Structure 1
Amino acid sequence: MEKKIVVYTMFNCIFCINLKNWMESNQLRYEERNIIKDSEYEKEFHDLNGAGLPLIVIQNNGEETIVTGFNQRKLEKLLIKS
Structure 2
Amino acid sequence: MYSNKNCGYCVKQKEFLENHHIPFIEKDISEKKYYDELMNLGGIGTPFTVINNNEKTEIVAGFDQSKLTELLLK
TM range (shorter): over 0.9
1:73 to 41, 66, 70: 66
Query: For structure 1, which runs of at least 5 residues remain unmatched after alignment?
Result: 1-6
TM-score normalised per structure 1: 0.87
1:23: which partner in 2?
17
What is the SS of the residue equivalent to 2:46? coil
Runs of 4+ in 1 over 4 A off after TM superposition: none
Q: Tell me the number of residue pairs that the alignment of Structure 1 and Structure 2 aligns.
A: 74
Compute the displacement of 1:62 (Å): 5.2
CA RMSD of aligned residues (A): 0.8
Cα 1:26/1:63, change in 2 over 3 Å? same
Query: Superposed, which structure 2 residues align to 1:56-67 within 5 Å?
Result: 56-61=49-54, 63-67=56-60
Larger fraction in strand: 1
